[in-house]
């Protein structure tokens, strides 16, 4: 081979092995099966796959954990709406779907607000529990972001509960 000329021999890719290599762990895919939580007769049932889709929840939240949080959220939202439900049943409405409401995309606004309340409540609970798993600097920053998002979710849940009842978002009194 003459001086100054290069041959183009393919080089193998560098070998990465041992403890110094970085590992990437992708979040699990969300389960494919549709699981429906049966609600009390007045309130609509909740599909966990719909929750995952709307609230962008991947497989890092296991199906049993998601179900437990959704059950808690449903129970809490139903409790917040107890008096509203009782009044509607006294008026002869057997379910939220029967209560008069405007329709958006062919669905009752009240039902849409009910789902929003449950989804936001559940997601806020998840955020509060998952924000403390990573103690690195990036984990702390992510925890702060989740805490801020949780505040927004709690607010949105409260507003949705108010909208189910046609109540204002807040009450202001003069002192």
SS (H, E, C) 131-155: CCCCCCHHHHHHHHHHHHHHHHHHH
- Assess whether pLDDT exceeds 50 at residue 24: no
Range list of H helices, the chain: 48-54, 63-80, 82-90, 109-130, 137-164
Task: Decide: helix, strand or coil at residue 63.
Answer: helix
- Mean pLDDT over residues 89-113, rounded? 97
Determine how many CB atoms are found less than 10 A away from the CB of residue 148: 11
Residue 102: C-alpha distances to residues 79, 99, 123 (Å): 24, 10, 26
- Mean pLDDT over residues 78-102, rounded? 98
Give residue-wise pLDDT tens across range 34-89.
Answer: 799 999 999 999 999 888 987 887 767 788 989 999 999 999 999 999 999 999 99
What does the pLDDT read at residue 9?
A: 65
Q: Are 57 and 29 in contact (CB under 8 A)?
A: no
Determine how many CB atoms are found less than 10 A away from the CB of residue 30: 18
């Amino acid at each position: 081979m003459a001086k100054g000329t290069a041959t183009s021999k393919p080089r193998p890719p560098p070998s990465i092995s041992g403890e110094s290599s970085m590992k990437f762990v992708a979040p699990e895919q969300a389960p494919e099966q549709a699981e429906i939580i049966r609600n009390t007769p007045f309130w609509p049932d909740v599909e966990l796959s719909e929750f995952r889709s709307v609230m962008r929840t991947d497989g890092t939240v296991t199906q049993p954990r998601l179900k437990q949080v959704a059950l808690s959220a449903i129970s809490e939202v139903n409790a917040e709406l107890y008096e509203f439900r009782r009044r509607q049943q006294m008026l002869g409405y057997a379910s939220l779907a029967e209560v008069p409401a405007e329709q958006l995309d062919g669905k009752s606004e009240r039902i849409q607000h009910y789902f929003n309340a449950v989804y936001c409540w559940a997601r806020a609970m998840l955020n509060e529990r998952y924000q403390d798993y990573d103690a690195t600097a990036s984990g702390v920053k992510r925890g702060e972001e989740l805490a801020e998002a949780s505040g927004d979710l709690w607010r949105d849940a409260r507003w949705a509960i108010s909208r189910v009842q046609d109540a204002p978002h807040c009450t202001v009194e003069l002192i």
